[in-house]
Structure 1
Amino acid sequence: MRIATSHVRLAALPLALSVCWPLAASAQANPSLASTVVTANRTAQALADLVADVSIVDRATIERSGAVGVADVLARLPGVQIARNGGPGNATSVFLRGAESRYTAVYLDGVRLDSQATGGVQWEQIPLSQIDRIEVLRGPAAAVYGSDAIGGVIQLFTKKGEPGKPAVYAGVGLGSHRTYRLEAGVSGRTGVDGAVDYALGIDKERSEGFDAQPLRLRAPTASTVNHDADGYERLSGNARLGLQVNSAHRLDATLLMTKLNSGYDAFVSPAAAPVDDRNDHRLRTAGLTWSAKWTDAYTTRLQVTDSHSRYATNPSYYRSETDLRGYLWQNEYRIGAHLLSATLERREDALENGSIDRDRNQNALALGYGFTSGAHALQLHLRRDDDSEFGGHTTGSAAYGYAITRQLRATVSAGTAFRAPTLYQRFSEYGVGSLEPEKGRNIEAGLRWTEGASSVGVVAYRNRVRNMIIFGAAGPCANDFGCYENVGRAQYEGITLSGNHQVGNVQLRASLDFQNPKDRDTEKQLARRAKRYATVGADTQIAGWTVGAEVQATAKRFDNAANTNVLGGYTLVNLYTSTQVARDIMLTARLDNLTDKDYQNARLYANAGRTVWVGLKWAPQ
């Protein structure tokens, strides 16, 4: 029996990083990833002009990672930690710079994802197989995106058709725990001058999984938990269609659907007749966008989006359904080095959960100003949201970047943010109708050095949240067990170091986070978040093979607010390789947790031990 209970030895990591430090580059500065990003200001922007802390993950990186979930890919990025109640398919939290999972605004092809029950996206619902690109913005962005973006924004994108003949692919993969995946798709362009682009994809994956709460981890009160393996089965598909009407007008439509059934362990299961507890997830997203360029200076974007998230359990029955509808009209006017923007947005939220059948709406006006010239870059944003339940709220942000030299760039920014209470927090038996929005205030500064393919970045930040909604003792709600209340205060502060560099044929990358996510009233460390964590990786080409290794390390965490339940620190070593075994066939293989480390990032819940994955993908050239 091996349970990680001691501190991970991270003291040596700064020394290891110092070896790579002058050789490193942050993900946001790697020009091979992309030339533009859209997440920072909700509009396409050159990487060189960014004054925000952004990371980008492309499809090649996703495939090389061998990850089975979006959260697993995010956990390899600077400033990101995750916690999961068992294996893939179970409840997953993503902490961006230590902030609560609900403090990250998440979009898929521009469609907002959220739960009006728990608050925040249900990460296990999102099929990684359909994701082509990920953009992560660290830092508040409510002045651009409205409610939810206290800790940051994560944008997910599906594949888009590219010029040339239709690109067809099919793949199969096999892994530990009798895991398999089948996938197929096609994308391309057709019509006069390739005016129509399309992408279709479908994916089926299944795993027998492992016991989420094995006997070695169970508390005496949980001795009757079922001993079964908690596997999962997922079917997902997406479609994306674009029409370039003419040189000035374009239409885009997206659709994604996924169905996930996964096993979990309830707190009590009859010993004589153990219950097979199951999660039943459904996710559907759809979006329609009209982009217009009226003059060389003036462009508009009109968008309608819809998402439906359903979560149910059986045989212990529970069901919660969230529907989100969005309307966006964005206007941009460029005058030389100046970019002016004005956006009208309407959001409609609805929740069905037990006796709750409620809805609300938010109307917003957002104004933006951008300036880029020579060594200077400036971004200013102001937004007013009017909520049908709690009234109006104003947020703002300012960011400035200055190129000290051709290679060295400094940035500073400040911003306010908020998150409206969920419908469940206000109208369930534990709810309080008078709850107010949670409010955040952030300041940060960064320095980035870039020379060719080499770059080094450092960002220091402090984000304070008040009116934090927590579950407390009995109060003005209908339940004597406890009620939601606006009494919490939290502080998320830290420093992120990141970089990469190519030495000969070897690509090096590294990140190191020092942070202190704490409860400002008790000075205790917030649950399930470590104060130190790091990732170091390298890959190279050898005789036609891509060969790589990465190390993920984290210090201890606590599983409770009182900081009495310790989750030990751990270090994971992962290996991966890929090669073209035939002209149109790619082989990928991955070995995760090489040392078979036994660790937890949620108390009493196991993670996978040593696992192997091998995949073949056919994609005619």
Structure 2
Amino acid sequence: MKFTSSCARLAALPLALAAAFPSFAQAQLTPVIVTATRVAQPITDVVADVTLIDRATIERSGAGGLADLLVRTPGIAMTRNGGPGATTSLYVRGAESRFTAVFVDGVRVDSQSTGGASWNAMPLSQIDRIEIVRGPAAAIYGSDAIGGVIQIFTRKGEAGFSPSIEMGAGSHGTYKLALGLSGGTDSVDYALGLAREISTGFNSQPTVNSDLDGYQSNSVSGRLGFKLNAAHRIEATFLSNDLDAQYDGFTKGFDDHSLSRLQAVGLNWTARWSEAYSTRVSIGQGDDHYETKPSVYVTDTSVTSYLWHNEYRSGAHVFSADLERREDKLKNASTTPVVSNRSQDALALGYGLRQGAHTLQLNARHDQDSEFGAVTTGSAAYAYAVTQAWRVTAAMGTAFRAPTLFQRFSQYGVATLTPETARNREVGVKYEAHGDKFGAVVYRNTVSDLITYVAGPGTCANGSGTYAGCYGNTALAQYEGITLTASKRMGGVSFSGSLDLQNPHDATTGKQLARRAKQLATIAADTRISNWNVGAELQATGERFDNAANTKRLAGYSLLNLHVSTSLNREWSLLGRVDNLLDQKYETAQGYATSGQTFYVGLKWSPV
């Protein structure tokens, strides 16, 4: 089914062009964003195209996984090979999944095998807040941030003592149990979370095997902070998730399993040396383990980062300077074992100005890669407040992504691959008054030396034989489009939505990039009926192609989702959700089934 005309009409409604979630417009305090520039600033001062998702929004959504939540925000699309535990890719503004830099409490996570974060291994139950930055940010974060940055924050303890228990059940034999414990004093704060989720799943590839493809997920997160004095704080963070997901391999009758382990460990020291000068020293390590059984395949990625962040404030001016080191290690056991590593040392400088109607952000970064040598990136962003309600923005920036170690040193690799580079331009307009919001961003991001898998037969530079294909710097990609967002409250109903009209394509062939639609839309309405919060949302995705040649068409689809929640008393709350109410049949990847209509009911105990 194509992107239906009824969905297009709904998406065109001015009241339904939205900023992700209506709760944002209702916030009483101005949220603070740290991901856009690595400097804490009110979201109203941020020039970049950003979205903040808080804990209340996460809980109210009832989303089954992190990717299911993120795909409801502007400019983000998803493909998945089956259910929530299956391999998942996210596309920010149509850019490859590996072009989004991902952090957990400031710790970078990545796979040097597949490239990009393992989204299916991210436990939503442990997440407190998510910050999304759309557009290149390599001048701040270095390699990977071509399409955007997504930073995930785990829960932080506050004064007092706050235990919680969440339990729920849903379709396909899904059960969840999460335990939380947090608290603090004037000098110490702590938070601990434990969660287990199981599902019998559904048959993700009916033509391959007739078995159900379920999953088991066990996660833990922790945060411990010490306030040494008024100016110094030390904090340790930890997140770990073990995922055992069934999938259908190439041989019928096999019960195939993929085993994933994601860990992020961080240690931070923040210090305020004066009213003007502060620093942050961070050490973090992100580990990504992937293994399949009974067919044997194992790959391990370790990303270790060291950061010394310096910040100086003088009136309307903010200066920053970062010294950063990143170390990547890959151990891959496939047909030909691969063990490799590399490092990047960087100096990043930033300047921000907020004065009157003017907001300016300048960043420059110089990376010294142990394999490729020097790479310099920069960005400039400016906003002008035409009136108190209207603001216009403009930004430009360059970015890069170094080839993964697997792309260079595996049996399918080519050691002479060069980094993928990007150049982005965008302009926008924002309106906010009396709780109403509207935004429009027009962008064009051109990526040169795009790395693709080139079909063979042929002999790869690192191979000892002939393979089906090899990696190569073969393409020029262009990601361009417009994102419209808005939210408005009418009577007792909050309306919201977003519309993305994009054209992610190969600039050489003109073909649409695989599995990416030209139209994405979300429309939502939330209200309160008696003691119940009631909401509905419509997600619409246009047609896509499953391959680069654009010969395998994936039909467009629309999903109608409903959710309700209520407080039973001061300690207990109830949540219910129905996804894909009309039981729409669709695919995000050809040959892989989706879950159809599903429901979930959750109960939470959290004494005040």
Question: Which of 63, 69, 83 is the aligned partner of 2:65?
Answer: 69
Matches for 1:224-243 after TM superposition, within 5 Å: 225-243=208-226
Give the structure 1 partner of residue 549 of structure 2: 562
Give the structure 1 partner of residue 581 of structure 2: 594
Letter matched to residue 481 of structure 2: G
CA contact (8 A) 2:322 2:347 kept: yes
Q: SS at the partner of 1:253?
A: strand
> Mind listing any 5+ residue stretches in structure 2 that lack a counterpart?
none
Question: Which of 187, 201, 206 is the aligned partner of 1:195?
Answer: 187
Question: Which of 242, 246, 263 is the aligned partner of 1:263?
Answer: 246
CA contact (8 A) 1:311 1:320 kept: yes
Is 1:480 the counterpart of 2:466? The answer is: yes
| 1:422–1:611 CA distance, 2 compared to 1 (3 A) | same
Letter matched to residue 198 of structure 1: Y
Please identify runs of 4+ aligned residues in structure 1 that moved more than 4 A: 23-29
Is 1:314 the counterpart of 2:297? The answer is: no
Question: How much has 1:131 moved relative to structure 2?
Answer: 0.5
Question: How much has 1:243 moved relative to structure 2?
Answer: 1.1
Letter matched to residue 30 of structure 1: A
Give the structure 1 partner of residue 236 of structure 2: 253
Distance 2:555 2:179 in 1: 41
Give the structure 1 partner of residue 167 of structure 2: 172
Question: Which of 204, 213, 216 is the aligned partner of 1:212?
Answer: 204
Matches for 1:418-429 after TM superposition, within 5 Å: 418-429=400-411
Q: SS at the partner of 1:275?
A: coil
Give the structure 1 partner of residue 133 of structure 2: 137
Q: SS at the partner of 1:112?
A: strand
Give the structure 2 partner of residue 463 of structure 1: 445
Partner deviation per Cα, 1:82-138 (whole Å, 9 max, x = no partner): 000000111100000000000000000001010000110010111111001111000
Give the structure 2 partner of residue 222 of structure 1: none
Question: How much has 1:386 moved relative to structure 2?
Answer: 0.4
CA contact (8 A) 1:172 1:182 kept: yes
Q: How does the TM-score come out when normalised to structure 1? A: 0.94
Matches for 1:105-504 after TM superposition, within 5 Å: 105-163=101-159, 165-190=160-185, 194-214=186-206, 218=207, 225-269=208-252, 274-354=253-333, 355-472=337-454, 473=456, 474=458, 475-478=460-463, 479-481=465-467, 482-504=469-491
Distance 1:356 1:380 in 2: 40
Q: SS at the partner of 2:56?
A: helix
Q: SS at the partner of 1:60?
A: helix
Letter matched to residue 447 of structure 1: V
Q: SS at the partner of 1:48?
A: helix
Question: How much has 1:24 moved relative to structure 2?
Answer: 5.5
| 1:24–1:176 CA distance, 2 compared to 1 (3 A) | closer
> Mind listing any 5+ residue stretches in structure 1 that lack a counterpart?
1-5, 219-224
CA contact (8 A) 1:25 1:453 kept: no
CA contact (8 A) 1:26 1:455 kept: no
| 1:34–1:111 CA distance, 2 compared to 1 (3 A) | farther
Distance 2:48 2:409 in 1: 37
Letter matched to residue 431 of structure 1: G
CA contact (8 A) 2:447 2:477 kept: yes
Question: How much has 1:31 moved relative to structure 2?
Answer: 6.3
| 1:321–1:162 CA distance, 2 compared to 1 (3 A) | same
Question: How much has 1:228 moved relative to structure 2?
Answer: 0.5
CA contact (8 A) 2:329 2:340 kept: yes
Q: SS at the partner of 2:582?
A: coil
CA contact (8 A) 1:197 1:241 kept: yes
Distance 1:76 1:12 in 2: 15
Give the structure 2 partner of residue 221 of structure 1: none
Give the structure 1 partner of residue 564 of structure 2: 577
CA contact (8 A) 1:27 1:499 kept: no
| 1:377–1:311 CA distance, 2 compared to 1 (3 A) | same
Q: How does the TM-score come out when normalised to structure 2? A: 0.96
Count of residues paired in the alignment: 598
Give the structure 2 partner of residue 13 of structure 1: 8
Question: How much has 1:325 moved relative to structure 2?
Answer: 0.5
Distance 2:492 2:237 in 1: 39
| 1:430–1:12 CA distance, 2 compared to 1 (3 A) | closer
